[in-house]
């Protein structure tokens, strides 16, 4: 008997209403494995284009966290993650960029990849995905590819990894927080793999 798996999807947005709504529409089209429940946590970093109002109207179950326009990507993601982790002990957290056009099998592919690694590794979805030591992005080739760090467009963090690494480092404002997280993972002996196919 498989128990329910709870996944928190984390986003931070600023004045990209069209992209954000399209990103959310794709999330609601995900073909989820049985007994999988997703909840979306989204930081509105001071949007002035009606994004949060539109989300509230179309997707009322999205948990919107208010930012003041100074959070940018890293701190906006930090806030979303902090809120989610206080609400329940999620089995998985997924970082997602609102300009990433995800395919319907994105979540199920991430989950099966994670389960192959006993839910002890970070799984990166190839878009601007994983990076090798030389900074190159490997082309997905049907197998899980070990990478050294990653861009935060589509990233799955299982509970066991979160317990070791915790949240992003609030020190970073916009960029580098995702690279830093990968480097911290490596220091703790946590592996990072890029998924075997494009997820968006």
Question: Which residue carries 């839910």 as its tokens?
Answer: 119
**Span 83-108, pLDDT tens digits:** 999 999 999 999 999 999 999 999 99
pLDDT digits (tens, 9 = 90+) for 9-53: 999 999 999 999 999 999 999 999 999 999 999 999 999 999 999
Q: 69 and 37 in contact (C-beta within 8 Å)?
A: no
pTM of the model: 0.95
Euclidean distance between CA atoms 11 and 4, whole angstroms? 23
SS3 state of residue 18? helix
Element containing residue 26 per DSSP (H, E): helix 17-27
């Amino acid at each position: 008997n498989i128990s329910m798996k709870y996944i928190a999807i984390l986003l931070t947005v600023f004045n990209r209403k069209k992209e954000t709504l399209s990103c959310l529409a794709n999330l609601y089209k995900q073909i989820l494995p049985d007994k999988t429940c997703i909840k979306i946590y989204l930081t509105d970093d001071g949007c002035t284009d009606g994004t949060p109002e539109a989300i509230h109207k179309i997707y009322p179950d999205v948990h919107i966290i208010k930012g003041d326009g100074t959070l940018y990507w890293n701190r906006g993601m930090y806030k979303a993650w902090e809120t989610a982790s206080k609400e329940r002990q999620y089995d998985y957290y997924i970082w997602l960029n609102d300009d990433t056009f995800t395919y319907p099998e994105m979540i199920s592919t991430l989950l099966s990849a994670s389960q192959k690694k006993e839910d002890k590794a970070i799984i990166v979805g190839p878009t601007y995905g994983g990076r090798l030591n030389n900074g190159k992005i490997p082309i997905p080739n049907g197998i899980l590819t070990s990478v050294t760090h990653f861009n935060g467009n589509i990233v799955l963090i299982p509970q066991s990894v979160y317990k070791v690494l915790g949240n992003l480092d609030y020190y970073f404002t916009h960029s580098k927080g995702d690279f830093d997280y990968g480097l911290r993972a490596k220091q703790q002996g946590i592996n990072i793999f890029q998924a075997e196919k494009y997820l968006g």
